Amino acid sequence: MRHKDLLAVSDLDSSELRHLLASAAALKRAQAARQPHALLPGRILALLFQKPSLRTRVSFEAGMLQLGGAALYLSPQEVGLGERESVADVARVISRYVDAVVARTFLHDDVVAFAEAASVPVVNGLSDLLHPCQCLADLLTIQERLGGLDGVTLAYVGDGNNVANSLVEAAPRVGMHLRVATPRGYEPDAGIWAEAARLAAANRTELVQLTDPRAAVDGADAIYTDTWYSMGQEAERELRQDVFPPYQVNARLLAAARPGALVLHCLPAHRGQEITDDVLDGPQSRVLDQAENRLHAQKALLCALLGADVGVAALAAEREA
């Protein structure tokens, strides 16, 4: 990889992103074949979290163990990032102990500052602006279910949040068409959109902002939604519950997509709000595949950042098959 860190999908060019997805698929095959792939023996990963997590913590911890390394979880109370100690001081100290860090922060500026001060690779495990690790899992899920990413039309419906921003960065890099439907005032980040739009024009991919969810999902190959309010936005809960109901992903909206279209959600879900039970638990839902693929995509990412050759595991899995 060109960069020491992964703070955004935009840190990857198209070839790097596709290579990561291929590596993730290879590691998934190796695990399915019960083929050992301890590619990071003796390496230590620190998980520095300001926000609680199920998928991010478990997938990184389990992934590092499967790769032959170890993971250390550091809670907000233990570190006090930016409060008990400055972000830079924490980054410099942790760099002396571990081989890589996953930082899950409220402010994107904090993870950027942490990476600038750290001497080891830093992964953005989620910030208020971006969620690149989730996006890698999303792309892997779409790719394995639809046979590829080029020409796929993805409709994102709901809040233009960190997940949406990362999908906006990713789509033109993998040849995917993306339609984003949000209420006015809840669009993806304008700067991220402008940069992605330039790349989409160069790559001849569709990148469209809409306010009509029906128009966004019309004929789409996959529909993605997320919670209407994220951690740290609880004060906006009542306001958002008045604004977002037309953007609920339900059976009627799903019927406007192509037959068999994938249903995606990064979880946790507020059932009955952004998505109905029958859709979330229905035959077109791939949300559990997404959750599992966090593990495989992040293992590939750790290998890339720490210089491990995933090809070794891939060849072994192919021989086993």
Active-site residue set: 104, 131, 134, 226, 266, 294
Burial 103-140 (b: 16+ CB within 10 A, else e): bbbbbbebbbbbbebbebbbbbbbbbbbbbbbbbbbbb
Alpha helices in 171-286 (DSSP H): 190-203, 213-217, 237-243, 251-254, 277-280
Two structure tokens written together for 54: 């199920």
Nearest Cα to Cα of residue 3 among 304, 310, 303? 304
Alpha helices in the chain (DSSP H): 14-32, 55-66, 76-79, 87-95, 108-117, 132-146, 162-170, 190-203, 213-217, 237-243, 251-254, 277-280, 287-305, 310-320
Single-letter code of the amino acid located at 126 = L
Residue 175 sits at φ, ψ, to 5 deg, of 75, 25
Q: How deeply is 14 buried, as exposed, middle or buried, from its count of CB atoms within 10 A (0-12, 13-18, 19+)? A: middle
Cα–Cα distance, 166 to 103 (Å, whole number):
16
Say how many C-beta atoms besides its own lie within 10 A of residue 18's C-beta.
17
Angle at 68 between CA 62 and CA 69, to 5 degrees: 75
